[in-house]
């Protein structure tokens, strides 16, 4: 449960997510350690860091499915997990959750009916969004892993969510599909005003984001625009910036190594 008394609430109108002192303990281990960050509205925020650093845990906290969360976590102006947030957030996990014995279109129609997002045209729009129109009548069970993940993404897009939380959406995709998906993310932000929080452990995807949260071992190493992070560290790439921040932080932990760049 969130302890809202611990920290001042200062989400600001421009932030979709605001965290302060966000901590998660799993199995006796502190896997998120007093995180402070914001995710601005209408932009793509990349959550980057090595496998096991806590990206999925942070995303579950934002969508309200993570247990043992303490600190302040506001999402779209409400405490994380508030039931009014359910239709306003689209969440895609790493494991595709669709019915393998239904076609792509049947899956979308089913979820549209269940989620109450059955607005005319939304099923076809979502299928087109993820570039699966030519596979609309294919059984989900006959799709590749990458195509299945895109069906899950289409489900998340059905209700035109304000906030999309996507856990490693480009894993296993070829370069062309990866590029197409990033173009879709930018369209969703620019044309539909959506806020996207996208995790990846591939540092070159960082350059495609408006803003980054760089994570390591349950902490935020730095946050800011890719340009600002590179300038701040004097590094040619975000990957180099990350490595420099890791080295820098090594001297500062366990107290505070977080650096706000913007």
Ligand X SMILES: Nc1ncnc2c1ncn2[C@@H]1O[C@H](COP(=O)(O)OP(=O)(O)OP(=O)(O)O)[C@@H](O)[C@H]1O
Site for ligand X in 194-223 (CB under 6 A): 201
> Given the complex with ligand X, which of 19 and 53 has the nearer CB atom?
53
Under rule CB under 6 A, residue 25 binds ligand X:
no
Shortest Cβ distance from residue 25 to ligand X (Å)? 9
Applying CB under 6 A, among 31, 85, 166, 173 the residue interacting with ligand X is 31
Phi, then psi, of 151 in degrees rounded to 5 = -65, -40
Under rule CB under 6 A, residue 27 binds ligand X:
yes
Give the per-residue contact string, 41-80, with ligand X (x = CB under 6 A; - = no).
Answer: ----------xxxxxxx-----------------------
Shortest Cβ distance from residue 213 to ligand X (Å)? 12
Is 46 within 8 Å of 200 (Cβ atoms)?
yes
Token code pair at residue 95 = 């494991």
Is 35 within 8 Å of 58 (Cβ atoms)?
yes
Shortest Cβ distance from residue 215 to ligand X (Å)? 7
Under rule CB under 6 A, residue 20 binds ligand X:
no
- Give the list of residues 6+ apart from residue 145 with CB closer than 8 angstroms, or none: 96, 172
Under rule CB under 6 A, residue 26 binds ligand X:
yes
Is 201 within 8 Å of 213 (Cβ atoms)?
no
Q: Using CB atoms, what's the residue nearest to ligand X? A: 27
Determine the Cα–Cα distance for residues 150 and 126; give it in Å rounded to an integer: 10
Shortest Cβ distance from residue 31 to ligand X (Å)? 4
Is 30 within 8 Å of 218 (Cβ atoms)?
yes
CA distance from start to end of the chain: 30
Binding interface with ligand X (CB under 6 A): 26-27, 29, 31, 51-57, 201
């Amino acid at each position: 449960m969130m302890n809202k008394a611990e920290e001042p609430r200062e989400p600001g109108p421009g932030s979709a997510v605001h965290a302060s002192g966000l901590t998660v303990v799993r199995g006796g281990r502190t896997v998120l350690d007093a995180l402070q960050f914001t995710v601005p509205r209408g932009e793509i925020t990349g959550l980057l860091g090595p496998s096991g650093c806590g990206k999925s845990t942070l995303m579950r906290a934002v969508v309200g499915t993570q247990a043992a969360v303490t600190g302040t976590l506001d999402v779209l102006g409400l405490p994380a997990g508030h039931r009014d947030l359910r239709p306003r957030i689209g969440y895609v996990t790493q494991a595709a959750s669709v019915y393998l014995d239904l076609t792509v279109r049947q899956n979308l129609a089913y979820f549209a009916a269940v989620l109450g997002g059955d607005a005319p045209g939304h099923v076809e729009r979502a299928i087109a969004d993820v570039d699966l129109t030519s596979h609309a009548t294919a059984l989900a069970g006959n799709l590749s892993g990458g195509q299945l993940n895109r069906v899950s993404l289409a489900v998340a897009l059905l209700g035109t969510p304000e906030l999309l939380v996507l856990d490693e959406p480009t894993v296993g995709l070829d370069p062309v599909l990866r590029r197409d998906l990033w173009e879709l993310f930018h369209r969703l932000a620019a044309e539909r005003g959506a806020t996207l929080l996208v995790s990846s452990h591939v540092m070159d995807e960082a350059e495609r984001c408006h803003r980054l949260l760089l994570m390591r071992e349950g902490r935020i190493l730095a946050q800011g625009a890719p340009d600002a992070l590179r300038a701040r560290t004097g590094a040619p790439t975000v990957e180099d910036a990350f490595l420099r921040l890791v080295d820098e932080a090594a001297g500062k932990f366990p107290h505070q190594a977080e650096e706000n760049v913007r």
